[in-house]
Amino acid sequence: MIKLELQKNNNFVRNLNGGSNSGFVILFATTLASIIFSIALGVANVAWKELRFGSSARDANNAFFAADTGVECALVHDKDSAPFGTVSSINCAGRSIAVTGSAPSWRFVVTGLGSAGNSCAVVTVTKSPSGPNILSTIVSKGFNTGDSSCASTSENRVERELRVSY
């Protein structure tokens, strides 16, 4: 019985010393898992950047069209209605909007714009004499997000500005 026991121990010792392939398999499996994990992280990173780029394009579009709406409101009011300075509010985007300021510069804020209704525009109209004519300049700053005064602390806020002179 003792002899059999020694023989078993010898086989165990021989397998420990002679089985040099077992460490290689673990090393190979770990390396392969690391490579697959790195590829997965790379694909996830590209997908994340595509997602951010898509939302950035949407935000830029909302900001641009908010600025465009602000310019259109100012142009329509300046050309078709009473001139700035004679009224305290204008109708734009389906609502009455307060106009602040006095000659030669007026300001108003258009809210509730964009695909989600969060976009806004801050519009400044300046009139200055230029020879026999009056030079009108409209500066409309459109934002993809903003409150009732077009203010926001969002880190993803996008601004687009349009300037029209006539």
For residue 71, being part of any structural domain is answered with: yes
For residue 131, being part of any structural domain is answered with: yes
Q: Is the pLDDT of residue 20 over 60?
A: no
**What span, in angstroms and rounded, lies between the C-alpha atoms of 60 and 57?**
5
The model's pLDDT over 23-54, given as tens digits with 9 standing for 90+, comes to 788 889 999 999 999 999 999 999 988 887 77
Tokens for 128? 């200055």
Do 140 and 121 meet the contact criterion of CB atoms below 8 Å apart? yes
Range of the domain at 127: 41-165
Domain count, the chain: 1
The residues, ordered by sequence, that sit 6+ positions from 6 with a Cβ below 8 Å of its Cβ are none
For residue 21, being part of any structural domain is answered with: no
Model confidence at 93, in pLDDT bands (50, 70, 90)? confident
DSSP secondary structure, 97-161, as one string: EEEEEETTEEEEEEEEESTTS-EEEEEEEEEEEETTEEEEEEEEEEESS--TTS----TT--EEE
For residue 130, being part of any structural domain is answered with: yes
Model confidence at 133, in pLDDT bands (50, 70, 90)? confident
Q: Is the pLDDT of residue 84 over 90?
A: no
What pLDDT does residue 82 have? 66
For residue 45, being part of any structural domain is answered with: yes
How far, in whole angstroms, is CA 33 from its chain's centroid? 35
Tokens for 34? 């690391």
For residue 101, being part of any structural domain is answered with: yes
Do 146 and 120 meet the contact criterion of CB atoms below 8 Å apart? yes
For residue 49, being part of any structural domain is answered with: yes
**What span, in angstroms and rounded, lies between the C-alpha atoms of 104 and 118?**
30
For residue 95, being part of any structural domain is answered with: yes
